[in-house]
């Protein structure tokens, strides 16, 4: 082929298939300005904040970004990987990428990009095309679909593709909350997590990231998919429905969010006689500030202060062997016809 090219023709790369893992994002450091840049990008996303821009801009730039970065930076510092000088989310997403690359082999290029922060989705898509990827599977690492997660991750990828002269063929992986392999893997993680404890929990909380209630009323399926995830897992485990409880965390601002709220539930449980709790966050594929700081640390503080006796956080699937078996299975399914 190269012998037939005209003089001066750019090198023709051997065509490859790309798999790009997409996650939410992370600041580059715990200092004020690193966290501020991250929060500004995150909270400027109209998929995340659906408030009128003219109303939201002064609130964000004159109020929130003046005070919140310092507090968020302190929270990040509590869970920061100081050896690598990175957030756990970036460390774990890289581990997932490397593990999936080893499983899929050299003919498929696996990489990861962040919706907010670094490495940017745009930079990784450009690198993939430069490496010869003319077929790319986008893999939003969100088991349940939401416009605030899956959709905005894909938006960012499409925005980058819009500027490419030679666009690759692209597929997007759908939400996988009801895939049998995911339900089985999550159930196994919960079962093994509970069995490893030196106490029997009175209740196990599945805490999902929250969203304003109006997003549900506007048609976002996330709320229903969260409840179905927990129901499918409970059925697989053979547990009574009251053993596995659904709550929603990380609410922000004065508007009503999806309920019941995780923090208020943790404070109320001891008064209802449930003083031994295990908790996990099924909406996250990798541990991050919302799980390691908000749930594992602050959640325990709130629960114990309210009269709780025992508290345990069950980690996300992360780059564990069962977790990677699950991701590989779903990715190979979505690559059907390409490999």
Q: For 110-160, what is each residue's pLDDT tens digit?
A: 999 999 999 999 999 999 999 999 999 999 999 999 999 999 999 999 999
The answer to whether the beta carbons of residues 307 and 269 sit under 8 Å apart is no
CATH architecture, domain 180-313:
3-Layer(aba) Sandwich (3.40)
Q: What's residue 241's pLDDT?
A: 87
Nearest to 18 by CA among 103, 119, 125: 125
Q: What's residue 14's pLDDT?
A: 76
Greatest Cα pair distance, the chain, in angstroms, is 80
- 184-208 residue pLDDT tens: 999 999 999 999 999 999 999 999 9
Q: What are the binding residues for Fe(2+)? A: 209, 290
- For the beta carbon of residue 337, count every other beta carbon within 10 angstroms: 7
Q: What are the binding residues? A: 209, 290
Q: Rounded to an integer, what distance in angstroms lies between the CA atom of residue 226 and that of residue 248?
A: 9
Residue spans of the domains in the chain: they are 16-176+322-334, 180-313
Q: What's residue 108's pLDDT?
A: 97
Per-residue pLDDT 10s for the chain (339 aa) are 455 767 765 666 778 999 999 999 999 999 999 999 999 999 999 999 999 999 999 999 999 999 999 999 999 999 999 999 999 999 999 999 999 999 999 999 999 999 999 999 999 999 999 999 999 999 999 999 999 999 999 999 999 999 998 899 999 999 999 999 999 999 999 999 999 999 999 999 999 999 999 999 999 999 999 999 999 999 999 999 899 999 999 998 889 999 999 999 999 999 999 999 999 999 999 999 999 999 999 999 999 999 999 999 999 999 999 999 999 999 999 999 999
Q: Rounded to an integer, what distance in angstroms lies between the CA atom of residue 117 and that of residue 113?
A: 9
Q: Copy the structure tokens of residue 189.
A: 């993680």
Do the domains spanning 16-176+322-334 and 180-313 agree at the CATH topology level?
Answer: yes
The DSSP symbol for 297 reads I
Contacts of residues 190-199 at CB distance under 8 Å and 24 or more positions apart, as own/partner, are 190/233, 190/237, 190/244, 190/280, 190/314, 191/237, 193/278, 193/280, 193/312, 193/314, 193/315, 194/278, 194/314, 197/278, 197/310, 197/312, 199/276, 199/310, 199/312
Q: What's residue 8's pLDDT?
A: 67
Q: Rounded to an integer, what distance in angstroms lies between the CA atom of residue 280 and that of residue 196?
A: 14
143, exposed or middle or buried, with CB in 10 Å at 0-12, 13-18, 19+?
A: buried
Secondary structure (3-state) at 208: strand
Q: Rounded to an integer, what distance in angstroms lies between the CA atom of residue 330 and that of residue 63?
A: 43
What is the pLDDT of the chain when averaged over all its residues? 95
Q: Rounded to an integer, what distance in angstroms lies between the CA atom of residue 25 and that of residue 159?
A: 17
Q: What are phi and psi of 334, to 5 degrees?
A: -75, -20
The answer to whether the beta carbons of residues 330 and 99 sit under 8 Å apart is no
Does domain 16-176+322-334 fall under CATH 3.40.50.1400? My reply is yes
């Amino acid at each position: 082929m190269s012998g037939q090219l005209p003089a001066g023709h750019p090198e023709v790369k051997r065509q490859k298939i790309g798999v790009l893992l997409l996650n939410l994002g992370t600041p580059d450091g715990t200092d004020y300005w690193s966290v501020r840049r991250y929060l500004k990008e995150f909270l400027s996303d109209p998929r995340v904040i659906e408030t009128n821009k003219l109303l939201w801009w002064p609130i964000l730039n004159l109020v929130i970004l003046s005070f919140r970065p310092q507090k968020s930076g302190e929270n990040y510092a509590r869970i920061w990987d100081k050896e690598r000088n990175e957030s756990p989310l970036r460390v774990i997403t890289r581990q997932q990428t490397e593990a999936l690359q080893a499983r899929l082999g050299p003919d498929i290029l696996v990489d990861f990009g962040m919706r907010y922060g670094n490495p940017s989705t745009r930079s990784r898509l450009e690198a993939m095309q430069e490496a010869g990827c003319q077929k790319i599977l986008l893999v939003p690492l969100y088991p349940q679909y939401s416009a605030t997660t899956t959709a905005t991750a894909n938006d960012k990828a499409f925005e980058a593709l819009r500027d490419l002269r030679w666009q690759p063929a692209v597929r997007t992986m759908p939400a996988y909350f009801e895939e049998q392999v995911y339900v089985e893997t999550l159930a196994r993680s919960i079962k093994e997590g509970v069995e490893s404890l030196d106490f029997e929990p009175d209740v196990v909380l599945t805490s999902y990231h929250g969203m304003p209630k109006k997003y549900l009323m506007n048609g976002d399926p996330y709320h229903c998919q969260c409840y179905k995830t927990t129901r499918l897992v409970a059925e697989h485990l053979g547990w009574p429905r009251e053993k596995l409880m659904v709550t929603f965390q990380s609410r922000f601002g004065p508007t009503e969010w999806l309920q019941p709220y995780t923090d208020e539930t943790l404070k109320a449980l001891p008064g209802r006689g449930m003083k031994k709790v295990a908790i996990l966050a099924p909406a996250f594929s990798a541990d991050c500030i919302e799980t390691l700081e908000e749930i594992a640390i602050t959640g325990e503080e709130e629960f114990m202060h309210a009269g709780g006796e025992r508290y345990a956080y069950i980690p996300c699937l992360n780059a564990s062997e069962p977790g990677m078996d699950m991701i590989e299975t779903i990715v190979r399914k979505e690559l059907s016809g390409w490999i």
